Amino acid sequence: MRQVRIHGRGGQGVVTAAEMLARAGFLAGHEAQAIPSFGSERTGAPVVAYCRFADAPLRTREPVLHPDVVLVQDPTLLGPAQPFSGLATHGLVIVNTNADAPTVRAEAGVDDANATVITIPAMSITMTHLGKPKPAAAMLAAYAAATDDITLDAVKQVFRDRFPGRVGEANALAADEAFAYVRAELAGSGGGGGLAAAATRGD
Partner 1 sequence: MREVLEGSQAVARTVARCRPGVVCAYPISPQTHIVEALSVMARTGELADCEYVNVESEFSAMSVSIGSSAAGSRTYTATASQGLLYMTEAVFNAAGMGLPIVMTVANRAIGAPINIWNDQSDALALRDSGWLQLYAADNQEAADLHVIAFAVAEELGMPAMVCMDGFVLTHASDVVELAEADEIDAFLPPYRPQQVLDVEHPTTIGTMAGPESFTETKYLQHLRFLDATEVIERWSLKFREAFGREAGCLVSRYDPDTLERDHAAPPAAAEDIAVIGMGSVIGTLQAALAPMQAEGDHVRLIGIQSFRPFPEKALREALGDCRDVLVIDRALELGAGGVLTGNVGRALAGTRSRIHSVIAGLGGRPILEASLRDVIRRTRAGDVGRLEFLDLKEGGVPVPPVGATEVAR
Binding site for partner 1 (CB under 8 A): 7, 15, 18-19, 22-23, 26, 31-40, 45-48, 57-63, 65, 80-82
Pick the closer one to partner 1 by CB: 46 or 180.
46
In whole angstroms, how close is the CB of 195 to partner 1 at the nearest point?
Answer: 28
In whole angstroms, how close is the CB of 79 to partner 1 at the nearest point?
Answer: 10
In whole angstroms, how close is the CB of 60 to partner 1 at the nearest point?
Answer: 4
Q: How far is CA 37 from CA 18, 58, 143, 155, in A?
A: 11, 18, 21, 22
Residue 182 CA to residue 101 CA, distance in Å, equals: 13
Pick the closer one to partner 1 by CB: 74 or 100.
74
In whole angstroms, how close is the CB of 17 to partner 1 at the nearest point?
Answer: 11
Residues 13-41 as b or e (16 or more Cβ within 10 Å = b) = bbbbbbbbbbbbbbbbebbbbbbbbeeee
In whole angstroms, how close is the CB of 90 to partner 1 at the nearest point?
Answer: 22
Pick the closer one to partner 1 by CB: 7 or 129.
7
Main-chain dihedrals φ then ψ at residue 126, nearest 5 degrees: -70, -40
Diameter of the chain measured on Cα atoms? 46
Pick the closer one to partner 1 by CB: 64 or 117.
64
Pick from 178, 134, 143, 123: which is nearest to 68 by CA?
Answer: 143
**Contact present, 27 and 158 (Cβ < 8 Å):** yes
Pick the closer one to partner 1 by CB: 33 or 192.
33
Torsion of CA 158, 164, 165, 169, to 10 degrees: -10
